[in-house]
Amino acid sequence: MTPPTPYLPPPSPALSAADQEALTELYVRGTPANTLRAYERDLLYVTAWKTARFGTAPDWPESEATALAFILDHARDLGGAPDTDIARQAAQALITQGLRKSLACPAPSTLDRRIASWLAFHRMKNLPSPFDAPQVKQARAKARRAAARAPAPKSQHPITRDVLEQLLATCRGSRRDCRDRAILMLGWASGGRRRSELTALMREDVSLKEFEKHGLVWLSLLETKTTGKGETPRLVLKGRAAQALVHWIEVGQIKDGPLFRPVSKADRMLKRRLSPDAIYQIIKHRLKLAGLPEDFATPHGLRSGFLTQAALDGAPIQAAMRLSLHRSVVQAQKYYDDVDIAENPATDLLG
């Protein structure tokens, strides 16, 4: 993916054309694909907002007044603002362009992410950021506190073991069924893998050397949300999960290239990799076949379900985190807390 021009390193007279090209290519290789996509979306949003609000494109560096206006425009509910309110008019323009869903106050995390991207664009161009100014930083902190809300769960329900078994029961004998079974089992049993991690897997990332003798399959993830390239430890699959993955590799005759691929309606294997959105569609399809609502869970339910089940089974949180690769104990502990509090004797004091 080619990153947006404004956050590429600026041309430097001290660099030759070849070195400048190498520096640009380094920026691309050194930035995760998900971050590139987020940068692209945020740059599009910021550009459209400033055009609608001020009638001009972003400046480099941007002014403190513009940064402050951006925070103020996104720190309140504009639904009750008069039609003549310039912030409401800009928001309405963004809604028309499909860049904003409503006039409601955006979530603090959304505002934080867009500001972080805007700040990153300045840093990559070696320019001072207006968001570092004391007044702007203070306004941002106040906006975050004023709009604070409980974080919405990424998946309505965790896909615990019993739910997973219902989904697996819908995978019967077709090539697509074999693929979906392997995705569900690998995604759950390896610690709750994210969609991008599942679709990034290559056949070369899977080692079957110990499968025949010990029933083990080793996975080598290139990188995750919390680990960079070369930092991700190997993960292991065993039992039914290992068998399902090996069966998929055999049925799909996958000798190299993407591990998980689209399967045509005629049950033929395609060569390209699955997109992350395809994992969402697979979960949705299996939920429907299992007789559950299609919005019962999302792909993140594999991750939350793994940790929830680990807590239910009494697995130490440190052991679960070695597979889930959570960097924060606090984040992983949330799943354990939800289980622990339900079993806490203090909740039965009234009888």
Domains detected in the chain: 5-146 (1.10.150.130), 161-345 (1.10.443.10)
Whether residue 232 contacts residue 220, with contact meaning beta carbons closer than 8 Å, is answered with yes
Residue 231: other Cβ atoms inside 10 A: 11
Q: What is the pLDDT of residues 324-336, one digit of tens each?
A: 888 888 888 888 7
For 290, counting Cβ atoms within 10 Å of its Cβ (0-12 exposed, 13-18 middle, 19+ buried), the class is middle
> Which helix (H) or strand (E) is 77 found in, with range?
none
CA angle 268, 200, 124 (to 5 degrees): 140
What's the pTM? 0.65
Token representation of residue 30? 């050194």
For 227, counting Cβ atoms within 10 Å of its Cβ (0-12 exposed, 13-18 middle, 19+ buried), the class is middle
Helix axes 300-312, 317-324, angle to 10 degrees: 160
Mean pLDDT, rounded, of the chain: 86
Smallest CA-to-CA distance from 172 within 258, 237, 267, 253 is with: 267
Which residues are paired to 272 by β-bridges? none
User: Which one has a higher pLDDT value, 149 or 214?
Assistant: 214
Cα(199)–Cα(203) distance, integer angstroms = 11
Position 83 pLDDT exceeds 90: yes
User: Which are the contacts of 333, defined by CB distance < 8 A and separation ≥ 6?
Assistant: 317
Buried-state track 328-345, b at ≥16 Cβ within 10 A, e below 16: eeeebbebbeebeeeeee
User: Which one has a higher pLDDT value, 332 or 259?
Assistant: 259
pLDDT tier, 173 (very low <50, low <70, confident <90, very high otherwise)? confident
Q: What is the pLDDT of residues 220-247, one digit of tens each?
A: 887 666 666 566 788 999 999 999 999 9
Q: What is the pLDDT of residue 1?
A: 43
Cα(348)–Cα(351) distance, integer angstroms = 5
> For a pLDDT cut of 90, what percent of the chain falls above it?
56
Position 4 pLDDT exceeds 50: no
Which residues are paired to 218 by β-bridges? 207, 236
Q: What is the pLDDT of residue 103?
A: 93
Token representation of residue 70? 């951006």
Q: What is the pLDDT of residue 334?
A: 82
The SS3 call for residue 243 is helix
Smallest CA-to-CA distance from 158 within 284, 334, 335 is with: 335
User: Which one has a higher pLDDT value, 351 or 183?
Assistant: 183
Position 32 pLDDT exceeds 50: yes
3-class secondary structure per residue, 245-285: HHHHHHHCCCCCCECCCCECCCCCECCCCCCHHHHHHHHHH
| Alpha helix (H) residue ranges in the chain | 17-29, 33-54, 64-73, 86-96, 108-124, 134-146, 161-168, 175-189, 195-200, 211-214, 239-251, 276-289, 300-312, 317-324, 329-343
| Strand duo 216-219 + 235-238: pairing | antiparallel
Residue 256 CA neighbour count, 13 Å, CB half:
0
Which residues are paired to 237 by β-bridges? 217
Helix axes 33-54, 86-96, angle to 10 degrees: 130
Whether residue 306 contacts residue 192, with contact meaning beta carbons closer than 8 Å, is answered with yes
